[in-house]
Structure 1
């Protein structure tokens, strides 16, 4: 199972809760976005993004997200959720997620999220602080993509 998450610098584990299942006896599709959120916040904690951005009145805002379901999760089970940043731009980054079932030793879902830097005072998109870019680059070993034409 570890090899399914080797490329993810942040991996969290949690139990599948009975209350996450729906009438079809599997985890409801909306719950996977909570799983992604938990991994995203753990990633943000690792790179201290909230502390760095708040001093500049910036916030990492979820612009879009998607999920591809590979197999149903059911209670009881435990899962590992991996998070990584696959693309880094001046004002945004793309996160990727993978949810792995411990019981089945398989990927249950994969997803992405586009996160943009939002200036809370000016109420508009802004550039990521260079300190955030540098720590992401060191964690992920990726270069900044020029998105000035976007």
Structure 2
């Protein structure tokens, strides 16, 4: 009988390994497909995947100390771009792990990669560009040193170029 994974909890490296997630994915959360996430073909719909990616991104930001979403001096982070490659459908009640890692950064932005795994198989991959902005969101702002430290130390992110 497979070892049950916690639902919507940050997974330890050991739990990620049990879920058959490759070791180059340092961060992930587990969950299962819900009825309200199904499309007419009984597959998880595209909007569900986008929500799962948002959930892991928010958990990642908080776990990495990038933002707590409540402090007055928190960074303002917006997504500039999101690309998703849907590879395999997921169905009702299927367990999955959605992962995140940062791979490169520039002056005010960084690139995050994601993958969604079901029993070790890749169901989808995604890449997004995240930008830190001024509090009013009108202009890009330099990445804070704490963000750079977190994504380089934990993920091995490298400077762009």
Q: TM-score, normalised by structure 2?
A: 0.80
**Aligned equivalent of 2:111, options 94, 112, 133:** 94
Distance in 2 between residues matched to 1:32 and 1:111, nearest whole Å: 10
Q: Give the 3 Å change call, closer, same or farther, for CA 5–45 of structure 1 in structure 2.
A: farther
Match of 2:123 in 1: 108
Distance in 2 between residues matched to 1:122 and 1:45, nearest whole Å: 20
Query: Matched residue of 1:31: which SS?
Result: helix
Higher normalized contact order (CA 8 Å, seq sep 6+, divided by chain length): 1
Match of 2:85 in 1: 68
Q: How many residues align?
A: 144
How far off is 1:142 after superposition? 2.9
Match of 1:141 in 2: 156
Structure 1: runs of 5 or more not aligned:
none
Q: Is the 8 A contact 1:57 1:119 kept in 2?
A: no
How far off is 1:57 after superposition? 5.9
**Aligned equivalent of 1:25, options 42, 46, 63:** 42
How far off is 1:24 after superposition? 1.1
Q: Is the 8 A contact 1:57 1:121 kept in 2?
A: no
Deviation per CA, 1:21-60: give whole Å up to 9, x if none. Answer: 01111111111111111111111011111149x6556311
Structure 2: runs of 5 or more not aligned:
1-15
Q: TM-score, normalised by structure 1?
A: 0.86
Task: Identify the structure with the greater strand proportion.
Answer: 1
